[in-house]
Amino acid sequence: MKVVSAIKRVPESIKNHFDQQFKQVEFIFCHGIEEAEPYLSEADIFVTYGEDLNPERIEKARQLKWIMVLSAGMDKMPFREIHKRDILVTNVRGIHAQPMAEYAISMLLQVSRKAKTLIEQENKHVWNRRPVMNEVSGRTMVLLGTGAISQETARLAQAFRMKTIGVSRSGENKDHFDETYRVDQLNQVLPQADFIVAALPSTKETQYLLKNEHFQAMPEHAVFLNMGRGDLVSTDVIMEAVKERYIDHAVLDVFEEEPLPEDHPLWNEENVTVTPHISGISPFYMPRAFDRFGENLHLYLEGKEEMHNKIDPKRGY
Amino acid sequence: MKVVSAIKRVPESIKNHFDQQFKQVEFIFCHGIEEAEPYLSEADIFVTYGEDLNPERIEKARQLKWIMVLSAGMDKMPFREIHKRDILVTNVRGIHAQPMAEYAISMLLQVSRKAKTLIEQENKHVWNRRPVMNEVSGRTMVLLGTGAISQETARLAQAFRMKTIGVSRSGENKDHFDETYRVDQLNQVLPQADFIVAALPSTKETQYLLKNEHFQAMPEHAVFLNMGRGDLVSTDVIMEAVKERYIDHAVLDVFEEEPLPEDHPLWNEENVTVTPHISGISPFYMPRAFDRFGENLHLYLEGKEEMHNKIDPKRGY
């Protein structure tokens, strides 16, 4: 059995660990898809970040039975061809939960506690205690999505004594939410939100889900944070929301176009904070991702059906 | 019975609340000590932030039986004269816990997640995902002091799955600490610390407690944060610690001299973050402080000995 990995810069310690743990498996660790391409035809299992596959490569990979995606974003996967060939897809859903929850709490604290102003003052050697500090404690967070990332964010928010409201397709109750609602109830819950945190994947149902009316339904002091996918809301809608002061601030880690072009108006907007899609970055990412792969590989080799984080190629998540 | 308050800008709603709740008490709300000075001789109770009293004013306040300090820092109180006259002193110890715990977590996230670099990139419209993000989750926090502020900080740190180690005079076990040690064991615990958070009052025992050797005992990647009092450690010791890279970063909200002079070297030090003594600032401060005063006033009027947060004038805290 052959495993081909297109993940760049895999530490030797991880490679050795897999070679020793799975003696019956041959691992071909490649530095990116170009290096991996010649081996695709022999691969039983392909390990990828999910951004390097296309219909031609799926066709080329004649033996392929399983794609292990070491990422949670699946929007660049050629699911039609994958589905046709009945190839199993698993990902590392939930692996981003910890750094992304930290990102969300960190950025809400940054905005509430006026970090930009304090840093500017520090650069100018200005001792000024006037910037109005706010607490995040005791406020209400509405989370769009109730998956692993939102749950971990809600868990931390509850530690800060926040009320947490989750919004999902089903409205099903999940851990760490004080209340949960269905997406069609969104306009009812938004007026309660001090913070709105979006951690949704890009699907037909979430693309451009948030419109003008939603931002108008939020309180004027609300902070909107998007760390899911940039196509949840158009730039125009966000620009209007902050310019017309429907909300106080938008924190954006994801955009319709990435990298965000240098001349894009969002960069200059005072009430928008732009970060370069870094919410999920963690020094522990690769070891955690390969740990997940290892667990699934054990299950696969034992012929178990119960592998973690199987993807439905029809839904794309 | 007369209550004289020197607290500036008390909202009318709070004044009215006290007038209605305590009909038997006369409240004289003054805008600062100058305005309060003529009333001191009639005051049974004096409400202050604790920075405006001196031996002369204590002498002038012939009727004074109780000083309610709406602050936690007591280093400017003339305790010798207060003790001689046997005047009761209470403060609002613990009131800063929530905003200060938020400050600590916020700043550790800021340093770990490279907020200064990201904000600089944003100002320059630079999309660069290379700044090395770190997680705060799973790390070890050593807290100097195990009082209300440290406990609340430790509680949040545990929510981030940190290990929390408290250091105090007694080494007594307290809520939200995984382990506690005595001050004389400090050198044993410092090598374990990813974060060192100091929230100590200024007393004979804490003044210049931290020396070169302590910073040398910390790991090179450690972040030191002081939100207690500036005389815990001399500027020279901190400058050496960051310049010689004994530690990675110092976050300072308090200083030997405040305001920090414009030409002070700490402002320019790359591995130091300066904030202008803002950790305890909160929009909820005054209502919370007067709530505490109201509770104590009830107890005082009922002649109860069990008033909250009595200060030992000999110890000063």
Give the model's confidence band at B225: pLDDT under 50 very low, under 70 low, under 90 confident, else very high: very high
CA-CA distance, B64 to A56, in Å (whole number)? 88
Please determine, for residue A269, whether its predicted confidence score (pLDDT) is greater than 90.
Answer: yes
Q: Is it the case that residue B313 has pLDDT exceeding 90? A: no
**Element (DSSP H or E) covering residue A216:** helix A212-217
Give CA–CA dist A285/A289, Å, rounded. 6
What is the per-residue pLDDT for B75?
A: 84
For residues A201 and A18, what is the distance between their CA atoms, to the nearest angstrom? Answer: 30
CATH topology of domain B97-274: Rossmann fold (3.40.50)
**A2-94+283-301 and A97-274 agree in CATH topology:** yes
Indicate the pLDDT class of residue A303, thresholds 50, 70 and 90. Answer: confident
Mark yes or no for CB contact B135/A260 under 8 Å: no
Q: In what order do the strands lie in the sheet with B66-69?
A: B26-29, B2-5, B45-48, B66-69, B88-91
Region A111-136 average pLDDT: 96
pLDDT at B73 over 80: no
B258 and A105 within 8 Å at the Cβ level: the answer is no
Confidence grade of residue B66 (pLDDT, cut at 50, 70, 90): very high
The beta-carbon neighbor of A102 closest among B127, B135, B274 is: B135
pLDDT tens-digit series, residues A272-290: 999 999 999 999 999 999 9
- Number of A:B CB contacts under 8 A? 121
CB pair distance less than 8 Å for A132 and B283: yes
At A246 the pLDDT is 98
For A296, the enclosing helix (H) or strand (E) is helix A285-301
Helices (H), chain B: 12-21, 33-36, 55-60, 79-85, 97-112, 115-123, 148-159, 186-189, 212-217, 235-243, 265-268, 285-301
Rounded CA separation A202/A170 (Å): 17
Q: Inter-axis angle of helices A115-123 and B115-123, to 10 degrees? A: 80
In this predicted model, what pLDDT tens digit does every residue of A34-68 receive, in sequence order?
999 999 999 999 999 999 999 999 999 999 999 99
* B92 vs A110: CA distance, rounded Å: 27
Cβ–Cβ gap B105/A109 under 8 Å: yes
**Inter-chain CB proximity A133 and B267 less than 8 Å:** no
Q: What is the pLDDT of residues A217-262, one digit of tens each?
A: 999 999 999 999 999 999 999 999 999 999 999 999 999 999 999 9
From the list A113, A1, A123, A11, the residue with the least C-alpha distance to A63 is A1
DSSP string, A136-202: -TT-EEEEE--SHHHHHHHHHHHHTT-EEEEEESS----TT-SEEEEGGGHHHHGGG-SEEEE----
- Count of helix runs (H) and strand runs (E) in chain B: 12, 12
Mean pLDDT of chain B: 96
CB contact under 8 A, B113 and A102: yes
Q: What's the pLDDT at A313?
A: 81
Question: Which pLDDT score, from 0 to 100, does residue B72 have?
Answer: 80
Question: CA A64, CA A48: separation in Å to the nearest integer?
Answer: 13
Per-residue pLDDT at B314: 79
Buried b (16+ CB within 10 A) or exposed e, B15-49: eeebeeebeebebbbbeebeebbebbeebbbbbbb
For chain B, give the percent of residues with pLDDT over 70.
Answer: 100
Q: Which of B126, B132, B276 lies closest to A127 in CB terms? A: B276
Q: Does A315 score more than 80 pLDDT?
A: no
Helix-helix angle A285-301:A12-21, to 10 degrees: 10
| Mean pLDDT over each residue of chain A, to the nearest integer | 96
Q: Which residues of A are less than 8 Å from B273 in CB distance?
A: 122
| Residue A197 confidence (pLDDT) | 98
Fold of A2-94+283-301: Rossmann fold (3.40.50)
| Partner-chain residue, chosen from B103, B128, B259, that has the shortest CB–CB distance to A127 | B259
User: Is the per-residue pLDDT at B37 higher than 80?
Assistant: yes
Domain boundaries, chain B: 2-94+283-301, 97-274
- What letter does residue A221 receive in the DSSP assignment? T
* Mean pLDDT score, A91-110: 95
**8 Å CB contact of B258 and A113:** no
Phi, psi (degrees; rounded to nearest 5) at B186: -50, -45
The answer to whether the CB atoms of A278 and B109 lie below 8 A apart is: no
pLDDT of residue A264 exceeding 80: yes
Query: pLDDT-derived band of residue B291, with 50, 70 and 90 as boundaries?
Result: very high
What pLDDT is attached to residue B109? 98
> Taking phi first (over 0 means left), then psi (-120 to 50 degrees means alpha), and beta for anything else, what does residue B64 get?
beta
Which residue shows structure tokens 């799926």?
A: A58
Alpha-carbon distance B272 to nearest alpha carbon in chain A (angstroms): 10
Residues of A in contact with B268 (CB under 8 A): 125
Describe the strand order of the beta sheet including A66-69 as a list of residue ranges.
Answer: A26-29, A2-5, A45-48, A66-69, A88-91
Q: What is the pLDDT of residue A8?
A: 96
B97 Cα to chain A: minimum distance (Å)? 11
Query: pLDDT band for position B303 (50/70/90)?
Result: confident
CB contact under 8 A, B283 and A137: no
Enumerate the β-bridge partners of residue B198.
B144, B226
What is the predicted pLDDT for the residue at A65?
A: 96
Task: Flag whether pLDDT at A265 surpasses 90.
Answer: yes
Is the CB of residue B281 less than 8 Å away from at least one CB of chain A?
yes
| pLDDT at residue B292, as a whole number | 96
Stated as kind and residue range, the H or E segment containing A98 is: helix A97-112
Query: Are the beta carbons of A106 and B110 separated by less than 8 Å?
Result: yes
A32 in contact with chain B, both atoms CB, cutoff 8 A: no
| Location of structure tokens 């951690």 | A199
Q: Quick one: pLDDT band at residue A93, thresholds 50, 70, 90?
A: confident
Q: Of all residues in chain A, what percent carry a pLDDT higher than 70? A: 100
Q: Do A103 and B125 touch (CB under 8 A)?
A: no
Instruction: Return the closest-CA partner of residue A21 out of A309, A306, A315, A293.
Output: A293
Among A96, A103, A122, the residue to mutate for chain B (most B Cβ within 10 A): A122
Q: Is A65 helix (H, G, I), strand (E, B) or coil?
A: coil
pLDDT of residue A280: 93
pLDDT of B141 over the 90 cut: yes
Span A70-82, average pLDDT: 90
Model pLDDT, residue B315: 77
Chain B residues in contact with A278 by the CB 8 A cut-off are 118, 129, 131, 133
Q: Is the pLDDT of residue B316 over 80?
A: no
Name every chain B residue with its beta carbon within 8 A of the beta carbon of A118: 275-276, 278
By mean pLDDT, which of B73-82, B177-186, B290-299 is the weakest? B73-82
Task: Report pLDDT for A166.
Answer: 98
Instruction: Average the pLDDT over A10-35 and give the result.
Output: 97
Mark B276-301 as b/e (b = at least 16 C-beta within 10 Å): bbbbbbbeebbebbbebbeebbeebe
For chain A, state the CA radius of gyration.
22
Q: Which of residues 200-259 of A touch B (CB under 8 A)?
A: 258-259
